[in-house]
Amino acid sequence: CALVGIPDELTGEALFGFVVLKDKKNISNKDLLQKLNISLRKEIGPIVSLKNILITSELPKTRSGKIVRRVLRNLAKGKEIEGDLSTVENKEILGIIKEKIKNFN
């Protein structure tokens, strides 16, 4: 998974999570968000909660295996994909995530 900050009117910044499921369970974003927030509040405290999550098949990574959070942050904010993407190994997932977010909002 990857967490990025997005603007929030109430708190200033909120967490948006991109999640890859290991066992490919059929669970909705809403149900998983609820379960994750219950777990986070129990383990860390009520101050931590996810505003939204997006279940995806994979995350965009560089050739060295690092998650490209800069791009995910822009996508979560509804911005266009920009900047240098030459090191992104699986660029096709960016379009898929962008489309999911577009349909999500």
What is the pTM assigned to this prediction? 0.86
d(CA 69, CA 77): 12
d(CA 30, CA 36): 10
d(CA 76, CA 7): 10
pLDDT by residue, tens only, the chain of 105 residues: 999 999 988 888 889 999 999 887 788 888 999 999 999 899 998 888 899 999 999 999 999 999 999 999 999 999 988 888 999 999 999 999 999 998 875
CA neighbours closer than 13 Å in the CB half-sphere of residue 49: 11
Structural domains in the chain, CATH included, are 2-104 (3.30.300.30)
